[in-house]
């Protein structure tokens, strides 16, 4: 029986786990990214060239990559976002694109909550000061009683809303794509500016806009209350990082928890602010979640290459 040739371009795929065993049973592995880094377009053209399917991460699967890969029939993303895949080019070539939307929900929601609590309780500064000599203590803040503004009310955003509500937060949501009928547990903001003006905590769980422009820029940060906590575990492109730095410097943002950046791996100026907790795009990277995501991606790819849509 013919085995389809596939490329694993994601930088962190467990080559010893059950998903890899299942993949080898059905496919010929033509390439595995063992570089430990996110591949760029030139690398991908070489890696994907003869592949019929790809197990992908956040690397840029552009029109040029697809043009150089005439046998490509399916892309299976380990994760939820597709903003690094040229979907129009994929449709034009009949390439199926799959994601794993269910598996990472709990892990990303927990990571978001961890960032909120770490910032509000000043966990990272206290940890550092315990080791270097504590001159004074600066009080943290309660999460209970605060207004939590959630931008994007899909699977992850709604789970974060449930978690923060259980801690005593008033939850305010902005998501123009969600029908509000029947959603009684949260309040909805009419505009992003409305949410920005009311929230003590803002956490992003939206997908990027079609134009790719940040939704949090100087104008929106200027509408925020002073002293907010700002969390982004969604996409780096949602935030103008220069505007965020300005908001930190002028006291609008007193704490930021960031798992995603405009360019990754990130080594930019936001790391110089003690008010920022940064993690390297690992919100979904728990052992159990990762295996579920990889298995879902493998099953999606095998199904896509077999011609089944169900």
Which helix H or strand E contains 125, and what residues bound it?
helix 123-132
DSSP 8-state secondary structure symbol assigned to residue 85? B
Per-residue model confidence (pLDDT) at position 15 = 94
Which helix H or strand E contains 255, and what residues bound it?
strand 253-258
Let me know: does 66 contact 87? Beta carbons within 8 Å: no
122 vs 159, 248, 277, CA distance in Å?
Answer: 24, 16, 10
Q: How many CB atoms lie within 10 A of CB 163?
A: 17
Per residue, the 3-state secondary structure of 160-205, as one string, reads HHHHHHHCCCEEEEECCCCCCCCCCCCEECCCHHHHHHHCCEEEEC
Per residue, the 3-state secondary structure of 204-252, as one string, reads ECCCCCCCCCCCECHHHHHHCCCCEEEEECCCHHHECHHHHHHHHHCCC
- In whole angstroms, give the CA distance from residue 140 to residue 104: 30
Q: How many CB atoms lie within 10 A of CB 242?
A: 15
Residues labelled catalytic: 235, 264, 281
The encoded tokens of residue 57 equal 């991460």
Closest Cα partner for 195 from 180, 211, 210, 176?
A: 176
- In whole angstroms, give the CA distance from residue 67 to residue 269: 36
pLDDT in tens, 136-176: 888 999 999 999 999 999 999 999 999 999 999 999 999 99
- In whole angstroms, give the CA distance from residue 304 to residue 162: 34
Residue position matching structure tokens 């009928």 = 181
- In whole angstroms, give the CA distance from residue 265 to residue 281: 9
The encoded tokens of residue 278 equal 């940064």
Domains of the chain by start residue, with CATH:
4-103+287-306 (3.40.50.720), 105-278 (3.40.50.720)
Q: Which residues of the chain have pLDDT under 50?
A: 309-310
């Amino acid at each position: 029986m013919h085995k389809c040739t596939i490329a694993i371009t994601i930088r962190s795929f467990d080559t010893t786990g059950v998903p890899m065993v299942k993949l080898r049973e059905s496919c010929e592995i033509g390439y595995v990214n063992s570089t430990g880094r996110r591949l760029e377009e030139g690398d991908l053209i070489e890696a994907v060239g003869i592949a019929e399917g790809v197990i992908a991460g956040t690397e840029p699967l552009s029109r040029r990559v697809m043009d150089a890969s005439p046998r490509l029939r399916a892309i299976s993303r380990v994760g939820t976002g597709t903003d690094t895949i040229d979907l129009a080019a994929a449709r034009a070539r009949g390439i199926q694109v799959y994601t794993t939307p269910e598996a990472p929900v709990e892990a990303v929601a927990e990571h978001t909550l961890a960032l909120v609590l770490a910032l509000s309780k000043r966990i990272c500064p206290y940890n550092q000061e315990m080791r270097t000599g504590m001159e004074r203590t600066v009080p943290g803040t309660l999460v209970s009683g605060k207004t939590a503004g959630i931008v994007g009310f899909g699977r992850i955003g709604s789970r974060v809303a449930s978690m923060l509500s259980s801690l005593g937060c008033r939850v305010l949501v902005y998501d123009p794509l969600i029908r509000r009928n029947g959603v009684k547990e949260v309040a909805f903001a009419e505009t992003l500016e409305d949410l920005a003006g009311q929230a003590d905590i803002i956490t992003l769980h939206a997908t990027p806009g079609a134009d790719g422009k940040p939704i949090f820029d100087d104008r929106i940060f200027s509408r925020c209350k002073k002293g907010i906590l700002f969390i982004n575990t969604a996409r780096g492109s949602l935030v103008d990082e220069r505007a965020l730095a300005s908001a930190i410097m002028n006291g609008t943002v007193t704490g930021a928890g960031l798992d995603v950046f405009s360019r990754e791996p990130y080594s930019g100026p936001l790391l110089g602010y003690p008010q920022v907790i940064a993690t390297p795009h690992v919100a979904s990277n728990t052992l159990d979640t990762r295996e579920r995501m990889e298995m879902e991606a493998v099953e999606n790819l095998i199904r896509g290459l077999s011609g089944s849509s169900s």
